[in-house]
């Protein structure tokens, strides 16, 4: 296994604070939630004795800084999409689209252009940007319908977190690999993959640019993210194929897009929003709101509209999230500037003074996946007209080059951890069948 990072996991990155920090709970810089009840993850959790805790708190809504209680439990997706007659009609049309595949924006323009539908257009576009990290002007409505149906089939409205940390899933998987048949090369950049039917050579270099001994094999499984597969060959982290991949694979990459997100974890000295945390048993501080059993906080903020706690755990962390085109100006900024804007956004959402939050803040954490050369984005989605792209990208080449990863999931689980795991199993079966 060749891995450019100094750890396993890719876009799963669990961080554990140093001793002495407030609390020792894991924090997820990448993937965080188990969406629904996917058999792949449930099976691993049971075998590895991992605890999956279901989110069961209350969702709150902030409109112009005015807070109101939303739904309790697993209704965050429905709440983000909005609930009104116009929203329902618009969403049902998108989900049941029968014409030629189109972008969400095109469906809005042809079916819901009237001012009556303005709020519904905005609400649904916000949901697609935030949840799918997709651009409404590019994303396929047929793909949106497929992903929603696939999620519903596994109880997708229920959300869980791996209490022990998402990286424990990877730790358990790696522990099951026979060490005498495995070589793990960390901090090793694969830059060129030379292949002929039945033989591959992977040329690699160290993180400091030193050329290393290449790897040779009968077959290879490529799990690089879409952003890496489509990166120019001269850029850090890019992978060049010699000879070039078949035209079908190149066309598939062009029909997919890498979604962009911003995720900022703010760690405070206490969960000041919770009425039952010890520091506030005598009553809340006048400058901060009390939000009992807070799980998700959904807002109309233009910078970071979605926030969540570590529900069902009570920890002093709030995580800010944004996805899609609205993040484009953020991902180009320095981490400290992104964190500063996150604090400003939280002050607006809670309608409190920034200074009151600053006094309580202990630390912030984030990782910019968009500028990470080994990811180049958060997760993928399908462009209009590209419904065959995930399957095409996942097709083996000459029984020699195989592909796995969330972008190759053709079952509607693109962009998810369980979707990626399923493609790994598929690729492993294909390799075994090819090499006997």
Whether 53 has a pLDDT exceeding 60, the answer reads: yes
Q: Judge if 222 and 268 occupy the same domain.
A: no
In this prediction, residue 21 has a pLDDT band, given cuts at 50, 70 and 90, of: low
Residue 180 is assigned to a structural domain of this protein: no
How many folded domains does the chain comprise?
3
Are residues 234 and 207 located together in one domain of the fold? yes
Token pair for 105: 């924006």
84 has pLDDT over 90: no
Confidence category of residue 277, pLDDT binned at 50, 70, 90: low
The CATH number that applies at residue 44 is 3.90.660
- Using the 8-state DSSP alphabet, how is residue 289 labeled? -
Among 19-28, 40-49, 58-67, 87-96, the least confident range = 19-28
Q: Are residues 79 and 52 in the same domain?
A: no
Note whether 276 and 294 are same-domain residues. yes
∠ CA 18-9-329, rounded to 5°: 80
Q: Given this model, what pLDDT does residue 284 score?
A: 47
Give the CATH number of the domain where residue 212 resides. Answer: 3.50.50.60
- pLDDT digit string, tens, across residues 178-233: 999 999 999 999 999 999 999 999 999 999 999 999 999 999 999 999 999 999 99
Q: Shortest CA distance to 400 belongs to which of 190, 220, 192?
A: 220
If asked whether residues 142 and 130 sit together in one domain, one would say yes
Q: For the residues 330-349, what does the mean pLDDT come to?
A: 97
> Which of 325, 350, 366 is the last residue in one of the domains?
366
Give the C-alpha separation, 131 to 104, whole Å.
14
Residue 244 inside a domain? The answer is: yes
Cα separation, 411 vs 382, in Å, equals: 12
**Do 208 and 6 form a contact (C-beta atoms < 8 A)?**
no
Calculate mean pLDDT across residues 322-342. Answer: 96
What confidence tens digit (pLDDT) does each residue in 394-431 have? 999 999 999 999 999 999 999 999 999 999 999 999 99
Please tell me the predicted confidence (pLDDT) of residue 72: 61
Domain enclosing residue 85, as ranges: 75-157
Q: Say if residue 130 is in the same domain as residue 224.
A: no
Stronger pLDDT, 309 or 314, i.e. the higher one? 309
| Residues 79 and 132 reside in one and the same domain | yes
Q: Of 21-25, 73-77, 182-186, 385-389, give the lowest mean pLDDT range.
A: 73-77
Residue 18's pLDDT is what? Answer: 67
Taking only the tens place, the pLDDT of each residue in 220-271 is 999 999 999 999 999 999 999 999 999 999 999 999 999 999 999 999 999 9
Torsion sign (Cα): 427, 428, 433, 434: positive
Residue 265 inside a domain? The answer is yes
Can you tell me the mean pLDDT for 37-58?
A: 96
Q: What is the pLDDT of residue 76?
A: 52
Q: pLDDT at residue 283 above 50?
A: no
* 423 found inside a domain: yes
Query: Looking at the structure, do residues 265 and 211 belong to the same domain, yes or no?
Result: no
What's residue 11's pLDDT? 97
Asked if residue 354 and residue 280 are part of one domain, the reply reads: yes
Query: Is the full-model pTM beyond 0.85?
Result: yes
In percent, the amount of the chain with pLDDT more than 70 equals: 93
**DSSP structure string for 88-155:** HHHHHHHHT--SS--BHHHHHHHHS-SGGGHHHHHHHHHHHHHHH---TTTBBHHHHHHHHHHHHHTT
pLDDT > 50? residue 281: no
User: Which residue among 317, 339, 366 closes a domain?
Assistant: 366
User: Which of 173, 78, 93 is closest to 123 using CA atoms?
Assistant: 78
Is 6 a member of any domain?
no
Reply yes or no on whether the pLDDT at 137 is more than 60. Answer: yes
- Top pLDDT among 72 and 375 is at 375
Are 85 and 38 part of one and the same domain? Answer: no
**Residue 182 domain flag:** no
Q: Are residues 248 and 379 in the same domain?
A: yes
Specify the pLDDT at position 289: 85
For 369-432, the three-class secondary structure string (H helix, E strand, C coil) is CCCCCCCCCCEEEEECCCCCHHHHHCCCECCCEEECCHHHCCCCCCCCHHHHHHHHHHHHHHHH
pLDDT at 19 > cutoff 70: no
Domain presence at residue 70: no
| Mean pLDDT, range 21-46, rounded to an integer | 90
Asked whether residue 282 falls in the same domain as residue 227, the answer is: no
pLDDT of residue 105: 97
349 lies in a domain? yes
């Amino acid at each position: 296994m060749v891995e450019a990072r100094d750890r396993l996991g890719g876009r799963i990155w669990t961080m554990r604070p140093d001793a002495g920090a407030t609390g020792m709970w894991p924090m997820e810089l990448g993937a965080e939630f188990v969406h629904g009840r996917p058999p792949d993850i449930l099976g691993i959790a049971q075998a590895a004795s991992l605890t999956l805790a279901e989110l069961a708190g209350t969702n709150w809504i902030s409109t112009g800084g005015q807070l109101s209680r939303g739904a309790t439990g697993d209704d965050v997706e429905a709440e983000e999409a909005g609930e009104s007659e116009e929203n329902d009609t618009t969403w049902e049309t998108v989900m049941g689209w029968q014409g030629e595949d189109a972008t969400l924006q095109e469906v809005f323009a042809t079916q819901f252009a009237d001012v009556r539908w303005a709020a519904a257009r905005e609400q649904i576009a916000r949901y697609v940007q935030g949840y799918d990290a997709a651009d409404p002007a590019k994303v396929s409505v047929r793909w949106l319908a497929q992903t929603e149906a696939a999620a519903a089939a596994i109880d997708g409205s229920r959300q869980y977190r791996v209490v022990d940390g998402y990286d424990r899933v990877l730790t358990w998987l790696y522990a099951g690999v026979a060490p005498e048949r495995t070589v793990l090369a960390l901090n090793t950049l694969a830059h060129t993959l030379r292949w002929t039917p039945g033989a591959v050579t992977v040329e690699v270099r160290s993180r400091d640019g030193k050329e290393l001994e290449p790897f040779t094999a009968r077959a290879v499984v490529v799990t690089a993210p879409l952003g890496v597969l489509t990166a120019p060959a001269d850029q850090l982290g890019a992978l060049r194929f010699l000879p070039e991949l078949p035209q079908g694979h190149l066309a598939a990459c062009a029909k997919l897009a890498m979604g962009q997100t911003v995720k900022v974890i703010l760690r405070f000295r206490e969960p000041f929003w919770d009425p039952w945390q010890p520091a506030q048993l005598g009553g809340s501080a006048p400058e901060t709101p009390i939000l009992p059993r807070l799980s998700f906080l959904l807002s109309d903020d233009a910078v970071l509209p979605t926030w969540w706690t570590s529900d069902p755990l009570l920890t002093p962390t709030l995580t800010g999230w944004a996805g899609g085109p609205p993040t484009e100006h953020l991902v180009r900024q320095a981490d400290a500037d992104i964190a500063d804007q996150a604090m400003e956004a939280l002050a607006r959402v809670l309608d409190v003074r920034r200074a009151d939050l600053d006094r309580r803040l202990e630390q912030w954490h984030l990782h910019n996946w968009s500028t990470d050369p080994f990811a180049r984005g958060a997760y993928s989605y399908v462009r209009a007209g590209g419904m065959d792209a995930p399957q095409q990208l996942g097709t083996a080449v000459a029984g020699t080059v195989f592909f796995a990863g969330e972008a190759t999931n053709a079952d509607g689980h693109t962009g998810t951890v369980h979707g990626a795991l399923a493609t790994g199993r598929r690729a492993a079966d294909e390799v075994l069948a090819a090499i006997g």
